[in-house]
Structure 1
Amino acid sequence: MIRFEEVSVTYDGAHEPVLRSVDLTIQEGELCLLVGESGVGKSTLLGAVSGLVPHFTGGTLSGRVTVGGRDTRTHKPRELADLVGTVGQDPLAHFVTDTVEDELAYGMESLGMPADVMRRRVEETLDLLGLAELRDRPVASLSGGQRQRVAIGSVLTVHPRVLVLDEPTSALDPAAAEEVLAVLQRLVHDLGTTVLMAEHRLERVVQYADQVVLLPGPGAAPVVGEPAEVMAVSQVAPPVVRLGRLAGWSPLPLSVRDARRRASGLRERLAQCTADPLPAAPEAGRAVAESSGLCVRRGRIQALRGVDVAVRPGEVVAVMGRNGAGKSTLLGSFAGLHAPGGGSVRVGDAVPHRTRPQQLVRRVGLVPQEPRDLLYADTVAAECAAADADAQVPPGTCRALVDDLLPGVAGRAHPRDLSEGQRLSLALAIVLTARPPLILLDEPTRGLDYAAKSRLVAQLRALAGGGHAVVLATHDVELAAEVAHRVVIMAEGEIVADAPTAEVVVSSPAFAPQVAKVLQPQPWLTVTQVACVLGESQ
């Protein structure tokens, strides 16, 4: 169905090709997973399938890409629209209508499908993706995860033979991600749809893949094979695979079920360990930020209902819950973006929504779900210089943070040319430059590979160790297990759980990390903890 024949892609002004001599075949009805670190060319490879590369992106494509027998060099994206459905990292960039139902119907209208067919397919897709309750909602009012499901639905209604997905579960809560993956499985198994997917959260998807394509680095030849074979040599691997390497299992497990079957010996070894697996909670102190009975209405939606929460110096708090539960609204309230409709919110001695931005930036820093909202300059260097000036810190402070979080990015690079994960790292460095006492991160690992996530975890631990309070709104259960002292679970704008991380996640099927599921009922949460107590390196 998809064939790459000695394909190389070089962008204008680049000294080296981002893809070099890619030779690849993806059969009809196959789910192919594309993996690799940020910036190695995954989005470029996906764009070559849909025709966006090079027709819209520019640059030079040598070799040949065919999809269903159509050459993408001679067929522009609109001539492939009936064959290839594409969902990029940024759903907002693809929306062209105002409401959910209209967005689902738009692609079919463009292809001139009959009205009765469009109505039936819209209803089917609303049910498949759990969007029925959102059908009349403006797309601008949706949470990030809800937008992701609408974006996927908008291409499913056309019934493409090939589906190209870039980070499809990155903004979804665990339950919603499972629903989307179940839909993709149904399309592959029942309808013979070919799915090509790039995803950093391999713990969610690798066990479903028929074939894995690993891009080792920019311009390097891909490694292609069955999932277990590729994971055995990949530097990018989910926790369950890393646990298998640590324990010496062969073949490596790809799912929690496979790992649990082999874990009895490892559980016996860990049962003899007396070390406390949980991170030490910071000493109690005066709250850096707190809300009391906080209520916030956003349009027709009561986003927060009587929320009481406090965050103390040195504490990392993960706020979790399904899409639309109120996580982003809570963070926005601490950052002064929303005025309370009831109750109160304070950051230090300031009321956020009544404090001037120039003063608030020294108290609280927010990295939003869309990092481009913080990026205005034409180069990375200019962004760093502006951040240094705004924070009144020595020149080079922001650039040093960028090098920690995002090594190797040139100062002359334009922020819009960075990948989603790279833009997020740049926005995080800009916010951290002022070193505010309260740091708010909304989906901070969206688009980040495992290496970048490890650097982020180290940075967050250093900030907490320096007395900063950190609040993460996240669907990434592995991140919460690595770094959070407390987990707050939200539902329908209310807090339904607020307790130490292990106490919340170990007993939760939805929010437990892979290691916790494998080693239950023992309290271990991460591969790092297991390696530490066994006295072995990862």
Structure 2
Amino acid sequence: MIRFEDVSVTYDGAAGPTVRGIDFEVPEGELVLLAGPSGVGKSTVLGAVSGLVPHFTGGTLRGRVTVAGRDTRTHKPRELADVVGTVGQDPLAHFVTDTVEDELAYGMESLGLAPDVMRRRVEETLDLLGLADLRHRPIATLSGGQRQRVAIGSVLTPHPEVLVLDEPTSALDPAAAEEVLAVLQRLVHDLGTTVLMAEHRLERVIQYADQVVLLPGPGAAPVLGPPAEVMAVSPVYPPVVALGRLAGWTPLPMTVRDARRRAADLRRRLEDHAPEGRGELRDKPQPTRTRERSTPPTPVGALKALSVTRTRIRALRDVDLTITPGETIALMGRNGAGKSTLLNSLVGLVTPSSGSVRLGEAVPHRTAPKDLVRKVGLVPQEPRDLLYADTVAAECAAADHDAGTAPGTCRALVTELLPGVTDDTHPRDLSEGQRLALALAVVLTARPPLLLLDEPTRGLDYAAKARLVGVLRGLAAEGHAIVLATHDVELAAELAHRVVLLAEGEVIADGPTADVVVSSPSFAPQVTKILAPQQWLTVSQVRAALGAGDTA
């Protein structure tokens, strides 16, 4: 169905090809996962299938890409629209109408389908993706995850033969991600749809893949094969594979179920060990000024009975939350639960309907931005909202100037988070994950005592995520408080001292990470599910417990 024949893509002005030597085939009716580190060209490979590369992006494509027998060099995207449906990393870039129902119908209108066919398919898609309650909602009022589901639905309604998906679950909560992947499975198995998908959260998708195409790095030829074989040599792999490698399991498990069947011996080896860092304030700093030991630290942020109503929707209801120096809090909950609204309240972008928000003595929505930047910093879901300059170097220079820090401060953070990115790189030429890391460096330059991150691992591979965890742990150890809204249960397990669960704008759980996530089927990390009833959260905890001499 999809055939790459010795394909290379070189963008205008680039020193060399973004991808080269791409040669593989995706059979009809299979789900093929495209994996690899950030920045290796996965989005370029996907774009070549839909014709966006090179017709929209420019540059030179050498070799040949065919989809259902059509050569993408001689067929523009509109001439492939009846065959290929594409969802990119940014759902907002796809929308052309104002409401959910209209967006689902738009693609079919463009293809000239009959009204009765359109009506039936819209209803089917609303039910498939759990969007029925949102059908009349303006897209502008939806959460990031809800928009992602609408974007996926808009390409499903024309019933394309091929679906190309770039990180389709990145903005979805665990339950919504499972729903979307179940729909994709149904399309593949029942309707014979061919799916080519790139995704960094391999723990969510690896078990659904028929084959994996690994792009190891610049200049390296792709590796194609069954998931277990490719994961054995891949530089990126999910926690279930990491645990399998640590325990010496062969073949490597791809699912929690497979891993649990082999984990009895590992659980016995861990019986006499206790997990480190079970939600307590690890590396909590000492107070910076003299005070009695019994005196609790002054909170850097506090919400009291906070309620927010936006466009007649009650986004938050009577939320109480205290944030102390040195702690990392993960805000979790399904899409639309109010996580982003809570962050926006802390940074002054949302005015409370009732209750209060304070950062020390400051009230965020009444504080001037130039003063607020030294109290709180927000990295939003769309990092490009913070990026205005033409080069990485210019972004860093502006960040240093705005924060009043020494020249080179921001660049040092970029080097730590994004090794290999040059000063003259334009932010728009970075991948979604790389742009997020650049925006994080810009915000961190001012070293605000309270750092807020909205879906900070969206678009990050496991190595980039590990670097981010290291940076955030260092900030927490220095006394910075961190609040992150995330659907990434593995990140919460690795980093958070506390987890706050939101539902319908209300706090339904607030406690140490292990206490909250271990009891939750949706928010428990893979290691917890594999080693239950023991309460392990991460592979690093297991590795530390086993010791260097007992890693199989």
User: What TM-score does the superposition give when structure 2 sets the normalisation length?
Assistant: 0.96
Unaligned runs of 5+ in 1: none
Quote the Cα distance in structure 1 between the aligned partners of 2:13 and 2:272.
Answer: 58
Answer yes or no: is 1:422 the counterpart of 2:434. yes
Quote the Cα distance in structure 2 between the aligned partners of 1:449 and 1:524.
Answer: 23
SS of corresponding position for 2:322: strand
- Whether contact under 8 Å (1:16, 1:219) holds in the other structure is no
SS of corresponding position for 1:407: coil
Answer yes or no: is 1:349 the counterpart of 2:361. yes
Alignment partner, residue 456 of structure 1: 468
Quote the Cα distance in structure 1 between the aligned partners of 2:454 and 2:18.
Answer: 30
Among candidates 302, 314, 318, match of residue 302 of structure 1: 314
Alignment partner, residue 45 of structure 2: 45
User: Which residues in structure 2 correspond to 1:358-369 (within 5 Å)?
Assistant: 358-369=370-381
- Whether contact under 8 Å (2:33, 2:209) holds in the other structure is yes
TM-superposed deviation, 1:446: 0.4
Alignment partner, residue 13 of structure 1: 13
Quote the Cα distance in structure 1 between the aligned partners of 2:307 and 2:331.
Answer: 17
- Whether contact under 8 Å (1:7, 1:65) holds in the other structure is yes
TM-superposed deviation, 1:280: 3.6
Answer yes or no: is 1:487 the counterpart of 2:499. yes
Quote the Cα distance in structure 1 between the aligned partners of 2:417 and 2:173.
Answer: 25
Answer yes or no: is 1:264 the counterpart of 2:264. yes
- Whether contact under 8 Å (2:275, 2:536) holds in the other structure is no
- Whether contact under 8 Å (2:280, 2:512) holds in the other structure is no
TM-superposed deviation, 1:273: 1.7
- Whether contact under 8 Å (1:104, 1:122) holds in the other structure is yes
Among candidates 509, 522, 528, match of residue 534 of structure 2: 522
Alignment partner, residue 291 of structure 2: none
Quote the Cα distance in structure 2 between the aligned partners of 1:54 and 1:465.
Answer: 47
SS of corresponding position for 1:436: coil
User: Which residues in structure 2 correspond to 1:399-418 (within 5 Å)?
Assistant: 399-418=411-430
- Whether contact under 8 Å (1:277, 1:523) holds in the other structure is no
- Whether contact under 8 Å (1:171, 1:475) holds in the other structure is yes
User: Which residues in structure 2 correspond to 1:2-401 (within 5 Å)?
Assistant: 2-274=2-274, 276-278=276-278, 280-281=280-281, 282=284, 284-401=296-413
- The amino acid that maps onto 2:449 is P
- Whether contact under 8 Å (2:317, 2:505) holds in the other structure is yes
TM-superposed deviation, 1:158: 0.5
Quote the Cα distance in structure 1 between the aligned partners of 2:61 and 2:220.
Answer: 16
- The amino acid that maps onto 2:68 is G
- The structure-2 alpha-carbon separation of the partners of 1:48 and 1:275, relative to structure 1 and needing over 3 Å to count, comes to closer
Q: Which piece of structure 1 moves more, 415-424 or 278-287?
A: 278-287
Quote the Cα distance in structure 2 between the aligned partners of 1:322 and 1:126.
Answer: 18
TM-superposed deviation, 1:14: 1.5
Q: Deviations over 1:345-391 (max 9, x none)?
A: 10111000000000000000000000010001111110000000000
Quote the Cα distance in structure 1 between the aligned partners of 2:446 and 2:271.
Answer: 44
Q: Which piece of structure 1 moves more, 427-436 or 295-304?
A: 295-304
Alignment partner, residue 440 of structure 1: 452
Alignment partner, residue 502 of structure 1: 514
Quote the Cα distance in structure 2 between the aligned partners of 1:180 and 1:75.
Answer: 30
- Whether contact under 8 Å (1:490, 1:496) holds in the other structure is yes
Quote the Cα distance in structure 2 between the aligned partners of 1:448 and 1:374.
Answer: 18
- Whether contact under 8 Å (2:499, 2:511) holds in the other structure is yes
SS of corresponding position for 1:291: strand
TM-superposed deviation, 1:277: 4.7
SS of corresponding position for 2:439: helix
SS of corresponding position for 1:297: strand
Quote the Cα distance in structure 2 between the aligned partners of 1:8 and 1:351.
Answer: 53
SS of corresponding position for 2:444: helix
Quote the Cα distance in structure 1 between the aligned partners of 2:141 and 2:274.
Answer: 49
Quote the Cα distance in structure 2 between the aligned partners of 1:92 and 1:241.
Answer: 33
Unaligned runs of 5+ in 2: 286-295
TM-superposed deviation, 1:536: 2.8
User: What TM-score does the superposition give when structure 1 sets the normalisation length?
Assistant: 0.99
TM-superposed deviation, 1:275: 5.6
- Whether contact under 8 Å (2:247, 2:266) holds in the other structure is yes
SS of corresponding position for 2:414: helix
- The amino acid that maps onto 1:132 is A
Quote the Cα distance in structure 1 between the aligned partners of 2:199 and 2:378.
Answer: 25
Quote the Cα distance in structure 1 between the aligned partners of 2:276 and 2:16.
Answer: 49
SS of corresponding position for 2:165: strand
- The amino acid that maps onto 2:304 is S
Q: How many residues align?
A: 538
SS of corresponding position for 2:521: coil
- Whether contact under 8 Å (1:277, 1:524) holds in the other structure is no
TM-superposed deviation, 1:274: 4.5
Instruction: Please report the RMSD computed on the Cα atoms of aligned residues, expressed in angstroms.
Output: 1.0
SS of corresponding position for 1:265: helix
- Whether contact under 8 Å (2:276, 2:541) holds in the other structure is no
SS of corresponding position for 1:245: helix
Q: Deviations over 1:377-428 (max 9, x none)?
A: 1111100000000000000000000001111111111111111000000000
SS of corresponding position for 1:362: coil
Q: Deviations over 1:3-62 (max 9, x none)?
A: 011111111111221111211010000000000011000000000000000001111111
